[in-house]
Amino acid sequence: MPATAPTWDPAQYLRHAGHRARPFTDLLARVQDLPADPPRIADLGCGPGNVTVLLADRWPTARITGYDNSPQMLERARQHAGPTPGGGHLDFAPADARTWTPAEPCDLLVSNATLQWIPGHADRFPDWIDHLTPGGTLALQVPGNFDAPSHRLLRELAHSRRWHGRLDGVLRHDDAVLTPEAYLAHLTGTGCTADVWETTYVHLLPGEDAVLDWVKGTGLRPVLAALDDDPEARDAFVEEYRNVLRAAYPAGAHGTPFPFRRVFAVARKPEAATGR
């Protein structure tokens, strides 16, 4: 975890909701039939819940719980709680992914754009898979863009002479996510069959300083939290970062192209497993 845990701003995060939801639907597209009907589904790191509701589109009868450790995100997500149109049910609960295990066996455990915040998250896989029903699925997606200019420039600025005294240790470690090959090895090592891939989306973002606007919803949050008690310093940092981002991501006639690599993994537990 970063030294200063970020405070999430659901409204800022949702400003690019369409682009952010696309990897979630691409992830679900690779999930096969679930073993139970109605299925039990957990969404770990559900955020504001706008992608959690998509699970009810795919599995209309499902009992779905979204888990998150941000009170701000959970408050927003709970606007979606209740019965779903297909006869299922959706609710939300606090949980810390670093220690959480499902209270009851899941047919699908999904985690989208969250595990990059959990150092050593692959060590949690055996426990989570143990809590899947036989034939159940663990599906995850993590950003693989820590070497992209957006993140590299953020780290360089935070480590610069002006800022390192205030921001040392605040940003996530470089190895926040694993390689696709490493995810494959971890998941097959538990006895699952696994489907792992990567995609680079080229999001075309609207508006001025569009990449800054995107990062304000996620990667920049630890810095904003660390400088929260000093608005002048916070604004100065954002200004410096804005300038380097403008040079790295020039706006075009139709918006600002923002390449974004993501890594996906879908692991299926064998039907005959007797882990539980």
Ligand X SMILES: C[S@@+](CC[C@H](N)C(=O)[O-])C[C@H]1O[C@@H](n2cnc3c(N)ncnc32)[C@H](O)[C@@H]1O
Instruction: Give the interface with ligand X as residue ranges (CB under 6 A).
Output: 8, 20, 24, 45-47, 51, 68-70, 73, 95-98, 112-114, 117-118, 218
CB of 92 to ligand X, least distance (A): 11
Q: How far is the CB of 14 from ligand X (least distance, A)?
A: 9
Distance CA 160, CA 145 (A): 21
Which has the closest alpha carbon to 204: 250, 245, 253, 255? 255
Residue type, 210: A
Q: Which pair of structure tokens corresponds to residue 85? A: 């149109």
Pick the closer one to ligand X by CB: 142 or 238: 142
In the complex with ligand X, the residue whose CB is nearer, 98 or 152, is 98
- Min CB(82)–ligand X separation in Å: 19
Which residue lies nearer to ligand X by CB, 59 or 117?
A: 117
CA distance 75 to 46: 11
Q: Specify the residue, 51 or 220, whose C-beta has the smaller distance to ligand X.
A: 51
Q: State whether residue 19 is helix, strand or coil.
A: helix
Neighbours of 273 (CB within 10 A): 17
Which amino acid would we find at residue 141? Answer: Q
φ, ψ at 113 (rounded to 5°): 55, 40
- By beta-carbon proximity to ligand X, the closer residue of 28 and 267 is 28
CA 2 vs CA 12, 95, 174, 222: distances in Å: 20, 18, 12, 7
Q: Which C-beta is closer to ligand X: that of 95 or that of 106?
A: 95
Contacts of 23 (CB under 8 A, 6+ apart): 112, 113, 141, 199, 201, 262, 264
Sequence-ordered list of residues with C-beta below 8 angstroms from that of 230, at least 6 positions apart, any chain: none
> Nearest 5 degrees, angle CA 264-CA 114-CA 168?
120
Q: For ligand X, which is the closer residue by CB, 76 or 269?
A: 76
Q: Minimal distance in Å, beta carbon 98 to ligand X?
A: 5
Min. distance of Cβ 122 from ligand X in angstroms?
Answer: 15
Rounded least distance, CB 192 to ligand X, Å: 22
**Which residue in the shown chain puts its C-beta closest to ligand X?**
47
Identity (one letter) of the amino acid at 35?
Answer: P
Q: How far is the CB of 272 from ligand X (least distance, A)?
A: 31
User: Which of 8, 163 has the CB closer to ligand X?
Assistant: 8
Closest CA to 3 of 167, 217, 230, 234: 167
Smallest separation, CB 130 to ligand X (Å): 19
